[in-house]
Structure 1
Amino acid sequence: MRMARTLPASRQVSYSLKDGDSFLVSDALGDIHGGDVADGLFHDGTRVLSRLRLGLDGTAPTLLSAATAHDKVVFTAHLTNRPLPPIGGSAAAGRGVIHIERSRFLWQGRLHERIVCSNYDRVPVSVPLTLEFAADFRDMFEVRGMERVRRGNYPQVEAAADRVVLRYQGLDGVERRTVLAFSTAPARLEEGMARFELRLDPRASFALYLEAGADAGQPEATRHRRAMAQARRALRARRRSGARLRGSGLLFDAWVERSRTDIALLASDLPSGRYPYAGIPWFSTPFGRDAIITALQTLWLDPGLARGVLAFLAERQAAEDSSFRDSAPGKIMHEARKGEMAALGEVPFGLYYGGVDTTPLFVALAGRYFRRTGDRAFIDQLWPALQRATGWIERSCDADPDGLLAYARGQDSGLSNQGWKDSEDSVFHEDGQLPSGPIALVEVQGYAYEALRAMAALARERGEHAAAQAWEARAGRLRRTVEARFWDEALDFYALARDGDGRMCRVLASNPGHLLYVGLPPPERAQRVIAQLASPRFDNGWGVRTLAADQPRYNPMSYHNGSVWPHDVALCAAGMARYGARRQAARLLGEVFEAATHFDMRLPELFCGFPRSAGEPPIAYPVACTPQAWSAGSVFMLLQACLGLEVDALAGEVAIEHPQLPPGVDRLWVERLDVGGARLDLVFERIGERVVAARAGGAESVRVSVRL
């Protein structure tokens, strides 16, 4: 009988780095194995280094420890040797006498690595150091499992004394290459391996610097230190943007700082501003929906991120109809990819618009950004794009028999489901059958409702009162339609969707929690939704499941049908708080916080929805992206929901209503909160059963209103 292969412990945990359009995933030893494993050095959607394995006399060293630095810029592994071969006729060097420190970072499309070998034996030792390398230049979609009929060509490897050049001539006519350069020429350099013969005296050390990039580098100590300092400064600048949170709970503070750092890590400095890429490894590229929700989560603290997201998406707004790309004039993009398969049209995701919710979310974000900042000049610049986006929403609703915003993919290569739950089986009927299209999701109607109201508010600010009235009236009609078509008295809940035959998908899913976020339901129905979401069929003790446990297709190990997504929990909690259920929101914050403690304070994209058991951690979803932008941003939306804090720059006011603090945090400071250009400090403190809030410093021109 053939036994299943178990990976060694060093390969069961991966470590990631990112800078701009490059990211790297390795195991705890710092090794890249390639093949069907989703590790490697990637640039512009292509794996440009698929193997980088360090050996001592052909044997992997022993792991002592591995970690990414606090700022998430530098990865370091500490390793030691197994027994080494003898020098001449002397005895072999013993185990654990050679220490290897392997550290690396990414900067401006290049991998910079340093390997330091130190001898702690009392006699000289020979250290036969080897580095195996390869570059398969596979597109990210190939790494994810897609098969291609044809691939390009691999010209002959070029090797010089201290470098090797690996090339791939793509079918798209683009030559991709990786130059691997060493600070010390190897004793032997051949295809796939560099071998260094080191002889170390007692207490002596040897440092090897290497770089991997599209062009030749000259790796050495000074260059390495300079690039590291630049990489750290760039990430530190992104981390410092916006207001600062500081609390009295060490673990909670660690979660906040880790989340803030992950958003800074995933954000790329683009000409249009900062833009958070979705997640590593599968989604380290611009996504529309993910970036908008991340910007909404952090808007109260750092509106600059929202500005960068809005500007980037406006520049890539669709101008033509394409069934292959699911585009139509006015739509906002779903994702953008730069790899060979996207360039050739083998996949539609070079610039793809198959997200029904991204366009209304774009408009909704613009409305919230304006209220948060009062930035009229930017909204004026954005106004034509907002009009085109709203025009697409209106045309789409006009074409629907119920006046709803629905989707149906143009070609089989596109996404079959185009809401945030975009797996093929995430929308279904009460008997488990998949619906026919076009499909109108309940939460998407909520996003469209907020988009129309946002346009009405912006139009009033611009003096366009007739347009404002028209959009407000349209939002009201949509709201009435949602109440009439989606509310199901027997379910005591809103239906998940309406299919192309007009049938309702009578399923209990978390999607109506997003209706609460935009404030569409009337108060009485909102309370019934909150009660359902807070019940054990949804709340598993670590957050809100995407699907109630007693529903057809429920599977706690699935991607969307019973798992827990932190960003989804945050939106539901923010919706609860909007209707006054702030204690329920605080409970969800506590549950997600406790889950974070089991994930090294870095919430993954999702985790399994099994019920919480005493003494047991949440169960990981095996291929979840980590870090993931909207998971990292969840803590900030959850915290805002608990604090009851809203910033209105137009009114020059910060309003705080019935604040709550997370469990274990008795005092929280919000420092350098920007309100229309003025800076404000706030403090929240638990006193007995109550939480009080007050101004702690800053501009007196900003009004602070508190309702306890």
Structure 2
Amino acid sequence: MREPCSRPDGPSDDEVATHAVDGIIRFKNRYYIQASSALADDRNRVLKQGETFAVFDQYGDIKPIGLHEEGIYHEGTRHLSALILRLGRCRPMLLSSTIKEDNAVLEVDLTNPDIVSTEDTNRNGDDQGVEVTRGSLHVFRRTLLWEGVCYQRISVRNYGLMTVETSLALDFSADFVDIFEVRGTRRSRRGTLLDPVVEGGLARLGYRGLDGVTRWTTIAVRPAPAHIDGGHLELQVKLSPGEETTFDLTISCSSGDPSPPLLRFEDALGEADRAIDRLRRDAARVDSSNEAFNHWINRSYADIFMMVSPLPGGPYPYAGVPWFSTTFGRDGIITALECLWLYPELARGVLAFLASTQADAEIPEQDAEPGKILHEARGGEMAALGEIPFGRYYGSIDSTPLFVWLAAAYLERTGDLPFLQSLWPNIDRALRWIDDFGDRDGDGFVEYQRRTPNGLEQQGWKDSHDSVFHADGSAAEPPIALCEVQGYVYAAKFGASGIAQQLGLSGRAVELAEQAKALRDRFERAFWLDDLGTYALALDGRKRPCRVRSSNAGHCLATGIAAEAHAPIVAETLLSDRSFSGWGIRTLDAAEVRYNPMSYHNGSIWPHDNAMIAQGFARYGLRDAALRVLTGLFDASMFVDLQRLPELFCGFPRRPGTGPTLYPVACAPQAWAAASVFALLQAALGLRVKGHRNQVRFRYPILPEFLSQVRIRDLRVGQGRVDLILRRHHDQDVGVDIVRKDGPVEIAIVK
């Protein structure tokens, strides 16, 4: 068996069942899994480390059914597409399943159903032996990833009163499909699956791709298995009462070299723990008086650290698992902005990588233009062959101004002028792209129109094909100028003016400041819709406003481009019952013709979107509005698995006693969703760190009713560090106590 598969239509009449147990039916060289089987459960467990990620079910298995996304992936290719554990001839019973709070290890507790000892089963398969009572055996399955290898330790302990002799079996296969194939892209031809190689107690599965790369999956277990072939291994278990035995399984993913170096399970776990500790040392720590809020924060920390991959320029947060486990410009920048106040090293790594991949030529098939910042970069066979344009793809209209905005925010946060000096040529090229390529028709707004039919049709953060439209539902014709993108450009030019000033480029600083002011005035005239109480979603190619109430307008508050008088009106619109579901602000007002709470971008709720809007509320002094958003998402976090906010969830109105309705294929974890809690807390506290002034500033800080106290520890400010406790008093006033201060740190509070 080399490639087990799901058969939604069942077996054909000429196929004969040779194995059937617990909903798994084996026909010749393939598996059919019954839809009624427990294997059809769709709650997944996710691990990621470096260029490898894995999606398991709750048992720690990989099932070739359902949405078919489960598997172990390495460098854009699925290296293991099935892994199913059996105890005796049955699937074990699930006791519990969780990802540890640091996200390093998946831990699964299993036990046996009533099983028959294998030594008493006759050659015909008739059960002749004594049953082992259900719950006699405890199977503890621990799984982690490190440097392209999945390490799994399986321990079995006998809690029964008699000796048990049985077997553990694992069925496995590797299809070596590109992640875009998993997502549904069909290919006219593929490479060659190699015949399995079994030697020395291990099995190697291989694939020679059309790109000339041979990819390997090597499966080994210690102690050596009683039997192993190209799709199955079996381990003998004989345990006296109270006795325990342990097996260590390794699944190695590699390209070219089929034998990557292996560690012992304990050593791999130690390396993973140390890597997480190194990341944690660079970030301030936050906790509170509310344990549920602490669980949300701790899971968010762990998700961010798990999504971070160490690149040559520093740490970079990959966007999300499973579909976006790679570098995305927009996602990386927004995640870094959300985390900037407590983890500025992330912003430095994002800026360094995006500067190193900045486009330097016009390449229409990649939507690349000189100075433009990357949208995404992909590995894998299809990217290498050009079957998809995403090897390096530049089709986002907002990554470039967001890059400049982040650079300015990083400088204010850290005072790291030497790094910004080195980055200035990239910043200047990005600014020139905004003027020369971003403003395609010279009207003063930045707009997009894809240059390749294989590229993204919509190039803002809402990149679904139907996300930009007029009030009657008709699609907006390109080139399209999104409202939030004009805000990003405003923030970029205003911020770049400050960078230029600090670099001694006073003439350029004045020029950029004047451009930002002119853009703000022009934006108000073209985008404000007084009768709708919001900014137009976009201008189409004929400069007609898309008169649609959407969450995009909230980003205009976050950037500061919105007029002071219009900010409270926008907030009122966004917090109306049509837009605010009780869990968060919808991407689209419920009264709009394309509203659908189950859509990806036209009525769903995205945590990062809400976090940016909350920061916009706070920027204009609308702190109570920011608290409503924080409270809604905190409440939502208590209903989701592992208290991990997903990429998005459905926009149905909040119903008493039930949680939010989940979106079926949302990424979880997703970096910018994980980081949202830190941006939301920053908004409530009006927190701003000015590293160049050695100052922490709180502007009108407030806390929600569920938080009486927040503690911030090891916050680096310039050359100093500080520990703070913020306490909410009965009159809603928030006091700030300095617990520890190392160095010349100033705490400023505006009330």
TM range (shorter): over 0.9
Letter in 2 for 1:27: D
More displaced, 470-479 or 542-551?
Answer: 470-479
Report the alpha carbon displacement of residue 652 of structure 1 after superposing the two structures with TM. Answer: 2.4
Which residue among 56, 59, 63 is the counterpart of 1:26?
56
Matched, 1:163 2:206: no
Distance in 2, matches of 1:64 and 1:706, equals 50
> Could you say if the C-alpha distance between residues 6 and 318 of structure 1 is closer, same or farther in structure 2, counting changes exceeding 3 Å?
farther
Which residue among 545, 548, 557 is the counterpart of 1:504?
545
CA offsets per residue over residues 626-653 of structure 1, 9 Å max, x none?
A: 0111011001111001001111122222
Distance in 1, matches of 2:104 and 2:662, equals 25
- The aligned residue for residue 691 of structure 1 is 734
Which residue among 647, 667, 690 is the counterpart of 1:648?
690
SS in 1 for 2:629: helix
Which residue among 676, 680, 685 is the counterpart of 1:634?
676
Q: 2:721, 2:743 within 8 Å by CA — same for their partners in 1?
A: no
Distance in 2, matches of 1:98 and 1:535, equals 55
Letter in 2 for 1:358: S
After superposition, residues 256-271 of structure 1 pair within 5 angstroms as 256-271=297-312
Q: 2:157, 2:244 within 8 Å by CA — same for their partners in 1?
A: yes
Q: 1:396, 1:406 within 8 Å by CA — same for their partners in 2?
A: no
Q: 1:181, 1:217 within 8 Å by CA — same for their partners in 2?
A: no
- The aligned residue for residue 63 of structure 1 is 94
Q: 1:10, 1:28 within 8 Å by CA — same for their partners in 2?
A: no
Which residue among 8, 20, 38 is the counterpart of 1:8?
38
Matched, 1:427 2:468: yes
CA offsets per residue over residues 96-123 of structure 1, 9 Å max, x none?
A: 2222111110011100111112222322
Report the alpha carbon displacement of residue 597 of structure 1 after superposing the two structures with TM. Answer: 0.8
SS in 2 for 1:571: helix
Matched, 1:51 2:82: yes
Matched, 1:303 2:357: no
- The aligned residue for residue 460 of structure 1 is 501
> Could you say if the C-alpha distance between residues 7 and 95 of structure 1 is closer, same or farther in structure 2, counting changes exceeding 3 Å?
closer
> Could you say if the C-alpha distance between residues 111 and 140 of structure 1 is closer, same or farther in structure 2, counting changes exceeding 3 Å?
same
Q: 1:181, 1:216 within 8 Å by CA — same for their partners in 2?
A: no
Distance in 2, matches of 1:217 and 1:472, equals 54
- The aligned residue for residue 216 of structure 1 is 259
Matched, 1:77 2:116: no
Report the alpha carbon displacement of residue 244 of structure 1 after superposing the two structures with TM. Answer: 1.5
After superposition, residues 144-183 of structure 1 pair within 5 angstroms as 144-183=183-222
Report the alpha carbon displacement of residue 134 of structure 1 after superposing the two structures with TM. Answer: 0.6
- The aligned residue for residue 616 of structure 1 is 658
Matched positions, count: 706
Q: 2:116, 2:129 within 8 Å by CA — same for their partners in 1?
A: no
Report the alpha carbon displacement of residue 176 of structure 1 after superposing the two structures with TM. Answer: 0.5
Report the alpha carbon displacement of residue 196 of structure 1 after superposing the two structures with TM. Answer: 2.2
Q: 2:468, 2:538 within 8 Å by CA — same for their partners in 1?
A: yes
- The aligned residue for residue 711 of structure 2 is 669
Report the alpha carbon displacement of residue 447 of structure 1 after superposing the two structures with TM. Answer: 0.2
Letter in 1 for 2:190: R
CA offsets per residue over residues 273-309 of structure 1, 9 Å max, x none?
A: 0111111111111111111001000111111110011
Distance in 2, matches of 1:135 and 1:401, equals 53
Matched, 1:236 2:266: no
Distance in 1, matches of 2:705 and 2:36, equals 39
Which residue among 380, 390, 395 is the counterpart of 1:349?
390
More displaced, 696-705 or 131-140?
Answer: 696-705
Q: 2:142, 2:154 within 8 Å by CA — same for their partners in 1?
A: yes
SS in 2 for 1:234: helix
Matched, 1:358 2:388: no
- The aligned residue for residue 25 of structure 2 is none
Distance in 2, matches of 1:480 and 1:156, equals 67
SS in 2 for 1:70: coil
- The aligned residue for residue 14 of structure 2 is none
Distance in 1, matches of 2:674 and 2:435, equals 33
SS in 1 for 2:701: coil
After superposition, residues 342-491 of structure 1 pair within 5 angstroms as 342-491=383-532
Distance in 2, matches of 1:160 and 1:99, equals 31
- The aligned residue for residue 748 of structure 2 is 705
Letter in 1 for 2:376: E
Distance in 2, matches of 1:85 and 1:217, equals 39
Q: 1:495, 1:506 within 8 Å by CA — same for their partners in 2?
A: yes
- The aligned residue for residue 644 of structure 2 is 602
CA offsets per residue over residues 410-466 of structure 1, 9 Å max, x none?
A: 112111100000011111111001111111100000001111111111111111111
CA offsets per residue over residues 10-44 of structure 1, 9 Å max, x none?
A: 73311011100101111111111235510100000
Distance in 1, matches of 2:591 and 2:662, equals 21
Matched, 1:250 2:280: no
Distance in 2, matches of 1:58 and 1:423, equals 46
SS in 2 for 1:505: coil
Distance in 2, matches of 1:665 and 1:699, equals 27
Distance in 1, matches of 2:563 and 2:149, equals 54
More displaced, 210-219 or 616-625?
Answer: 210-219
After superposition, residues 306-325 of structure 1 pair within 5 angstroms as 306-325=347-366
Letter in 1 for 2:146: W
> Could you say if the C-alpha distance between residues 387 and 2 of structure 1 is closer, same or farther in structure 2, counting changes exceeding 3 Å?
closer
Letter in 2 for 1:336: A
Report the alpha carbon displacement of residue 90 of structure 1 after superposing the two structures with TM. Answer: 4.2
- The aligned residue for residue 723 of structure 2 is 681
- The aligned residue for residue 92 of structure 1 is 131
Report the alpha carbon displacement of residue 84 of structure 1 after superposing the two structures with TM. Answer: 2.3
Which residue among 337, 358, 367 is the counterpart of 1:326?
367
Which residue among 245, 261, 266 is the counterpart of 1:206?
245
Letter in 2 for 1:423: S
- The aligned residue for residue 568 of structure 1 is 609
Distance in 2, matches of 1:246 and 1:207, equals 38
Matched, 1:119 2:150: no
More displaced, 570-579 or 68-77?
Answer: 68-77
Q: 1:667, 1:685 within 8 Å by CA — same for their partners in 2?
A: yes
Distance in 2, matches of 1:209 and 1:283, equals 30
Distance in 2, matches of 1:321 and 1:340, equals 24
After superposition, residues 268-287 of structure 1 pair within 5 angstroms as 268-287=309-328
Report the alpha carbon displacement of residue 624 of structure 1 after superposing the two structures with TM. Answer: 0.6
Matched, 1:189 2:220: no
The unaligned stretches of length 5 or more in structure 1 are none
Q: 1:10, 1:63 within 8 Å by CA — same for their partners in 2?
A: no
SS in 1 for 2:46: strand
Q: 2:438, 2:448 within 8 Å by CA — same for their partners in 1?
A: no
SS in 1 for 2:450: coil
TM-score (norm 1): 0.97
Letter in 2 for 1:306: A
More displaced, 201-210 or 584-593?
Answer: 201-210
Q: 1:371, 1:649 within 8 Å by CA — same for their partners in 2?
A: yes
More displaced, 308-317 or 210-219?
Answer: 210-219
RMSD value, Cα: 1.7
Percent identical among aligned pairs is: 45
Q: 1:397, 1:403 within 8 Å by CA — same for their partners in 2?
A: no
Report the alpha carbon displacement of residue 126 of structure 1 after superposing the two structures with TM. Answer: 2.1
Q: 2:693, 2:718 within 8 Å by CA — same for their partners in 1?
A: no
Distance in 2, matches of 1:440 and 1:44, equals 35
Report the alpha carbon displacement of residue 200 of structure 1 after superposing the two structures with TM. Answer: 2.4
- The aligned residue for residue 173 of structure 2 is 134
Report the alpha carbon displacement of residue 519 of structure 1 after superposing the two structures with TM. Answer: 0.8
Q: 1:327, 1:352 within 8 Å by CA — same for their partners in 2?
A: yes
SS in 1 for 2:693: coil
> Could you say if the C-alpha distance between residues 522 and 218 of structure 1 is closer, same or farther in structure 2, counting changes exceeding 3 Å?
closer
Distance in 2, matches of 1:352 and 1:218, equals 33
After superposition, residues 100-119 of structure 1 pair within 5 angstroms as 100-119=139-158
TM-score (norm 2): 0.92
> Could you say if the C-alpha distance between residues 569 and 233 of structure 1 is closer, same or farther in structure 2, counting changes exceeding 3 Å?
same
Report the alpha carbon displacement of residue 60 of structure 1 after superposing the two structures with TM. Answer: 1.2
